[in-house]
Structure formats: structure tokens, C-alpha cells
């Protein structure tokens, strides 16, 4: 049996738009009649630039005078100093809200070259800065009535809530099979929902951050300086999960609106890790994959270099992917291994298990290289010598074959993600850069190298791998305050799914056949509703070039004032890559967000009325919804009559 496992493990180790709608479409709307537009909405009006002074210019129609003109007194010019505009004074706090561990980094915009990582955390005996020293804190929380303890404050033997971050995204259940297969025995059934747990934990992070800042910054400066937070989320996060994370951060007191930033974890890691590569070895067109392998999840995104000067410019080469197959699964598999091997031994209890788990976490998991001859000594205090089990003098021998079997399914899952990313990129990948705690593991690195060696892909480990995400998030935050702080620019992101609306088109028998049709009394013809995808899966979307959707609404005047417009945006992940669905009834099409525009802000006289084909009066509203795709969230704005009315209300469904 041992030889069979050895052979199996060895084999597995080796194997291991810019888009503007030029077509007129009519999204579905209850109680409203939709008709085609005749014009695009005008661009948002901007104030006219002030004209230059004409005092120094001669009048073009002046005639010569025979008398000398009376000299006018010269005006004294006001002395003005041209100073370089400094960025507004802010304190930026980046929060890597992780599945198993979380980290915090901060900097002042007036001193961006002096970033700090919080390394002091409260423990069970201290509520201040005299506790545990670590780059990160466990993402764990436990309750005692109305009070809670978090991170290192929780005693080793006490039950706690873990992995609640992943519960924010119910759509990822299919990517959590390993997490469900190996649950943590100390995790207690949550009496609270994931939002409650995440909000309380983020509150603890914020409160601790403020305590740290009070020791680093004078009180007067701290009170007068705004604090902005940057929160990281996985690349595989759904739009709803991004919105939930933002809501939890807002409820935790981390700001709101434009003062709260949500960014992608692997994108943040790329901003930190890629500038550290040899600049002379990077060329435009090169493709790099970021593999963020953490304790709970593994996230991947592939980037193509689109520019080198003045800063490194990147564009996503394929949509991000990921799974809950992080390093914590190894701990849970090791525990299962111990229980199966020692459960019948006298003296095997929680204390023995705790000692063994500490050795596996601190030594075995970090030092294992995948060689057959490796052996590790695991403490099992109080257990009698047993040659068959490899126990002698309170220590049990753990062979390299046994450790390899523990690693096998986790590494296999990561390799599948890596090969899937390479295929999705549809181009040669120059290097894979590993970040995250699990990304430091030598066995994982070597397994990936073996998997991609035929493609001549380099596999590199980033320095400061465990904190790469939080440091990169801070760099992104600084860059958003001033371009001078930017070291990397993400010029475009690859859409992870189709985005569109259910629009009414004039029914044409030759084109639409027997498709369901609805009579449009205002226009005097039938309409067939079909999906109009304004973003297709794989499209490159850019922050500085938002998508504009042009719509027209008509509503019977007799039905009352037109005060709001509600538009539902749908999405399709198209998991089988079968192409864009035509109809909203397709099983892959799901409602994503309902965007509601408040027309009560528009003057009543600006809403025109026209007579329809049925002789009745209708309100006519031509408007546009502007969609901006950011790193890890999407904003929606309403434009009407050439004026930008700001962000509209959006509710994820």
C-alpha cells in the first residue's frame, strides 16, 4: 500500500470599449412603453473655459488718431507663486481582508515613501499593542454574549468562527469542494450571518488601526486628517459579493462612497510584485500570470504588458479565476491523517493533537520539498512507543510519502487553475509570479514548474510574498490620490461575464420567426424582447472609458408622472463558452442589478410629451446609463439632456 501511495504521489508531483451603444434598444420596464430613440444623449456639459484677457491686444477695427492718446495708468500685476500642487493630506489604510489571515498597511499622502505594515496585535492578555508580533492576524472571531474576541485574542482551545469571508459569496459554492470536504473542527456553527461576522471583524480591524495611528501620528494631525480605506477582495468574487463586502466595510466605519475603495487581490499583488522584476527583461507584449496562493483561496489573473514608460502598464489577458484550495486545507488533511492513525492509541487527546498541529504548521508544511527521503518528527507526548506507527520517545516519524499524500489533492487543484489560466490567456506566458503565504511553499513552486516546463514558463516567488496583496493595495490607493505615486497602471480588465439588458426590438417575421412578441400601442407595431449585451465575456473594459447605454422610455401621461425609471441589468457567465444567450429565459442568464434613476430631480417642463400611434399622449424620456468597471466594483450614473445627474441607486438581485 505504501509503495502504491509512493508511486501515485510521484506521478502527481510530476504532472502536477470602449463601447457606446450605436443601436437603439429598449430595456424591459413594467408599466412603461418603450420606443426607439432618434438621437444619442449629448455628452455631459462642462463649464466653458475662461477666455484670455484682451487687454494686451490691439482692437481690430481701430483707426489711427492725429493726437497722442492720453496714457492710461499701468495696472500692477499681482505677484503669484507657481507652486507644485501637493496631494490632499490623507491617511490611506489598506486592508487585506483574508480568508484565514488579514493584514493592514498604511501611509500618509504627504509621506508616501514611508509606508507601514501593522505587526502588533492584541492577544488574550492584552488589548493594546503589547501582544503578538506578526505581519497578519487570524481572520477569526468568537462571541461571549454581546462581546466578541478576535484574532490572537482567542485562546487555542476555544471555538471560533472561521472562513466567514467566503460565505459572503454564495455563488462560489462549486469552488469550495475542498473546504467543505475538510471542515475545521474548531469552527462552531454560526448563529450570525456572514455579513454580521465580517462587519464585526472589520470593526475590530478599524479600531485597532486607529489605536496604532494614535501612537504614530500626533493627535492634532490625526483628528484633522481624513482616513480612507482600501479593501481587497478575490478575483473570483461576484458583483453581489463585492457589494456585500463594501456594505460590511461601511457598517464597520471604514467610510462610504468615493472614500472607500474595493480592489482585486491579485491586481493588488501585481502592482507590488511585477515592478520588482528585472525591468530590462520585460518587453511590450510579454504576458505574466499572478498566482495569489493564500491560506483559504488561490486567485489567478494573467496580464499582458502594454507599456513600459513612464510606468509599467498592464492589461488583463484573460478573466481571473480561483478556488478555495489554500494552505489551510493541508492542516485539515493532516488532522484527518492523525485521527485515522492514532484514534485508538491510549493518551491521544486534544493536547497531543495541538502539539502535532503546531509542528505541522510551523515546520512540516513550510519545509516540505517533495523528496522521497524526507522525514519529519512530530511530537506526540504521552503516547507509548509503537514501531508499527513509527512512535518512539514521544515522537512520531512522518515520511515524505505521507506528507506528499496530504499535499496531493490541494496541489492538483492549484495546477488545474494554472493550466486553465494559461489556456484562457490564448498566448504564451513568460512567467508565473507566486504571491501569498502558500505561494512561498517550495513544493507548490516545484510542482508548478514541472507542470509548465514544456512551455518554457518561468515560475518566480515574489519577495515579501505574504504581504504582497496589502502592500500592493496601498500602492493602488496612493496612485489614486496622485499619478506621481503610481508605479503600475492597469490599462484594461477582461470582463468575466456577459452584461446586458432585455431590450424590445421591432418584431420582424423573417428575423425573429415564432419568437414571443408584444404589442406596442404607442409605436403601432409588435416588439420581441431579446438580450442586448453591452459587454461580452472577455471584452477589455477600461476605467477611463466607461460604457454608455442609450435608452428611451415612453409612458402614458394618464398613468401619472414619470418620477423613476428602473432598469435591470443581467449577466451570463457562460461556463460552457457556448456564446452569448439570445433570450432572458436562457438558464445561464441571471438578473445582476436593478438600476433605479430618480427622475424627480428633472424639471417637469423638460420631460416632453408626444402623441402615440394610438392617439394617446405619452411622456418621452431619452437618457443614458453610464457604467464604469473598476478594479473590483462597478458604478452606475444617469445622464439626461447632456447633464450628468450622478450615481443612481443600484440594488443587486
Q: What is the pLDDT of residue 459?
A: 95
Q: What is the pLDDT of residue 186?
A: 52
Residue 250 or 17, more confident? 250
Q: Compute the distance between CA of residue 436 and CA of residue 366 in angstroms, rounded to an integer.
A: 13
Q: What is the pLDDT of residue 48?
A: 43
Q: What is the pLDDT of residue 183?
A: 60
How far is C-alpha 133 from the geometric centre of its chain's CA atoms? 28
Residue percentage of the chain with pLDDT more than 70: 81
The DSSP result for 87-130, as a single string, is PPP-EEEEEE--SSEEEEEEEETTEEEEEEE--EE-BTTBSSSS
Task: Report pLDDT digits (tens) over 388-423.
Answer: 999 999 999 999 999 999 999 999 999 999 999 999
Q: What mean pLDDT do residues 544-567 have?
A: 84
Answer whether residue 34 shows pLDDT above 70.
Answer: no
Q: What is the pLDDT of residue 187?
A: 56
Answer whether residue 564 shows pLDDT above 90.
Answer: no
Answer whether residue 633 shows pLDDT above 60.
Answer: yes
Task: Report pLDDT digits (tens) over 82-91.
Answer: 444 566 889 9
Q: What mean pLDDT do residues 310-338 have?
A: 89
Instruction: Kindly state the helix (H) or strand (E) to which residue 549 belongs, with its residue range.
Output: strand 547-556
Domains delineated in the chain: 2-16+327-407 (no CATH), 33-41+495-652 (2.60.34), 91-264 (3.30.420.40), 266-322+414-493 (3.30.420.40)
Residue 606 or 637, more confident? 637
- CA nearest neighbour of 451 among 421, 475, 494: 421
Q: What mean pLDDT do residues 324-343 have?
A: 91
Residue 298 or 71, more confident? 298
Range with lowest mean pLDDT among 55-69, 283-297, 307-321: 55-69
Answer whether residue 503 shows pLDDT above 70.
Answer: yes
Q: What mean pLDDT do residues 496-505 have?
A: 89
Q: What mean pLDDT do residues 501-520 have?
A: 85
Task: Report pLDDT digits (tens) over 577-630.
Answer: 778 899 899 989 999 888 877 777 766 677 788 999 999 999 888 888 888 888
- CA nearest neighbour of 436 among 653, 135, 202: 135
C-alpha cell at 21: 451603444
SS (H, E, C) 385-435: CECCCCEECCEEEEEHHHHHHHHHHHHHHHHHHHHHHHHHHCCCCCEEEEE
The widest CA-to-CA distance across the chain, in whole angstroms, is 124
Q: What is the pLDDT of residue 494?
A: 85
Answer whether residue 456 shows pLDDT above 60.
Answer: yes
Question: For all residues of the chain together, what is the average pLDDT?
Answer: 81
pTM of the prediction?
A: 0.77
Asked if 249 and 204 touch (Cβ cutoff 8 Å), the reply is no
Q: What is the pLDDT of residue 202?
A: 98
Task: Report pLDDT digits (tens) over 116-125.
Answer: 999 999 998 8
Give the residue carrying C-alpha cell 418621452: 620
Answer whether residue 540 shows pLDDT above 90.
Answer: no
Amino acid at each position: 500500500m505504501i509503495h502504491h501511495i509512493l508511486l501515485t504521489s510521484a506521478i502527481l508531483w510530476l504532472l502536477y470599449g470602449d463601447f457606446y451603444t450605436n443601436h437603439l434598444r429598449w430595456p424591459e420596464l413594467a408599466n412603461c412603453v418603450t420606443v426607439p430613440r432618434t438621437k444619442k444623449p449629448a455628452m455631459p456639459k462642462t463649464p466653458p473655459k475662461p477666455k484670455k484677457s484682451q487687454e494686451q491686444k490691439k482692437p481690430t477695427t481701430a483707426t489711427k488718431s492725429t493726437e497722442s492718446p492720453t496714457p492710461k495708468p499701468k495696472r500692477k500685476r499681482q505677484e503669484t507663486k507657481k507652486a507644485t500642487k501637493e496631494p490632499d493630506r490623507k491617511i490611506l489604510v489598506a486592508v487585506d481582508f483574508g480568508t484565514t489571515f488579514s493584514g493592514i498597511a498604511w501611509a500618509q499622502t504627504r509621506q508616501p515613501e514611508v509606508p507601514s505594515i501593522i505587526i502588533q496585535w492584541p492577544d488574550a492578555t492584552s488589548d493594546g499593542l503589547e501582544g503578538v508580533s506578526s505581519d497578519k492576524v487570524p481572520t477569526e472571531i468568537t462571541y461571549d454574549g454581546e462581546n466578541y474576541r478576535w484574532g490572537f485574542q482567542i485562546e487555542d482551545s476555544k471555538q471560533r468562527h472561521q472562513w466567514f469571508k467566503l460565505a459572503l459569496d454564495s455563488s462560489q459554492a462549486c469552488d469550495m469542494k475542498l473546504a467543505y470536504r475538510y471542515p475545521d473542527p474548531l469552527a462552531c456553527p454560526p448563529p450570525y450571518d456572514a455579513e454580521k461576522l465580517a462587519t464585526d471583524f472589520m470593526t475590530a480591524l478599524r479600531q485597532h488601526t486607529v489605536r496604532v495611528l494614535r501612537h504614530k501620528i500626533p493627535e492634532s494631525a490625526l483628528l484633522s486628517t481624513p482616513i480612507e480605506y482600501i479593501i481587497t477582495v478575490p478575483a473570483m468574487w461576484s458583483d453581489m459579493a463585492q457589494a456585500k463586502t463594501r456594505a460590511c466595510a461601511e457598517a464597520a466605519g471604514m467610510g462610504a462612497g468615493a472614500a472607500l475603495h474595493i480592489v482585486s487581490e491579485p491586481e493588488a499583488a501585481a502592482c507590488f510584485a511585477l515592478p520588482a522584476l528585472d525591468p530590462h527583461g520585460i518587453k511590450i507584449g510579454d504576458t505574466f500570470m499572478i498566482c495569489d496562493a493564500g491560506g483559504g483561496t488561490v486567485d489567478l489573473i494573467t496580464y499582458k504588458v502594454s507599456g513600459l514608460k513612464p510606468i509599467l502598464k498592464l492589461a488583463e489577458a484573460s478573466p481571473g479565476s480561483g478556488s478555495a484550495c489554500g494552505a489551510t486545507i493541508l492542516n485539515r488533511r493532516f488532522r484527518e491523517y492523525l485521527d485515522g492513525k492514532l484514534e485508538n492509541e491510549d493518551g491521544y487527546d486534544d493536547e497531543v493533537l495541538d502539539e502535532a498541529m503546531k509542528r505541522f504548521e510551523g515546520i512540516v508544511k513550510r519545509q516540505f520539498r517533495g523528496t522521497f527521503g524526507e522525514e519529519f518528527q512530530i511530537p506526540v507526548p504521552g503516547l507509548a512507543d509503537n514501531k508499527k506507527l513509527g512512535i518512539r520517545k514521544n515522537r512520531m516519524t512522518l515520511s515524505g510519502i505521507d506528507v506528499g499524500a496530504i499535499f496531493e489533492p490541494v496541489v492538483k487543484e492549484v495546477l488545474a487553475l494554472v493550466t486553465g489560466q494559461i489556456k484562457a490567456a490564448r498566448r504564451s506566458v513568460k512567467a508565473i509570479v507566486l504571491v501569498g503565504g502558500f505561494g512561498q511553499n517550495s513544493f507548490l513552486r516545484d510542482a508548478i514548474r514541472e507542470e509548465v516546463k514544456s512551455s518554457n514558463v518561468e515560475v518566480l516567488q515574489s519577495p515579501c510574498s505574504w504581504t504582497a496583496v496589502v502592500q500592493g493595495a496601498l500602492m493602488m490607493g496612493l496612485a489614486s490620490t496622485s499619478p506621481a505615486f503610481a508605479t503600475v497602471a492597469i490599462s484594461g480588465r477582461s470582463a468575466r461575464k456577459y452584461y446586458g439588458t432585455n431590450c424590445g426590438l421591432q418584431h420582424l417575421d423573417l428575423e425573429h420567426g415564432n419568437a414571443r412578441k408584444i404589442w406596442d400601442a404607442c409605436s403601432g407595431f409588435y416588439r420581441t424582447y431579446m438580450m442586448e449585451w453591452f459587454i461580452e465575456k472577455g471584452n477589455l473594459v477600461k476605467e477611463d472609458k466607461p460604457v454608455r447605454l442609450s435608452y428611451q422610455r415612453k409612458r402614458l401621461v394618464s398613468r401619472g408622472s414619470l418620477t423613476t425609471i428602473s432598469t435591470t441589468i443581467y449577466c451570463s457567465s457562460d461556463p460552457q463558452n457556448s456564446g452569448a444567450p439570445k433570450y432572458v429565459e436562457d438558464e445561464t442568464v441571471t438578473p445582476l442589478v436593478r438600476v433605479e434613476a430618480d427622475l424627480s430631480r428633472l424639471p417637469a417642463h423638460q420631460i416632453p410629451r408626444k402623441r402615440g400611434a394610438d392617439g394617446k399622449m405619452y411622456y418621452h424620456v431619452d437618457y443614458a446609463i453610464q457604467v464604469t468597471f473598476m478594479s473590483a466594483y462597478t458604478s452606475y450614473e444617469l445622464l439626461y439632456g447632456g447633464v450628468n445627474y450622478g450615481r443612481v441607486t443600484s440594488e443587486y438581485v
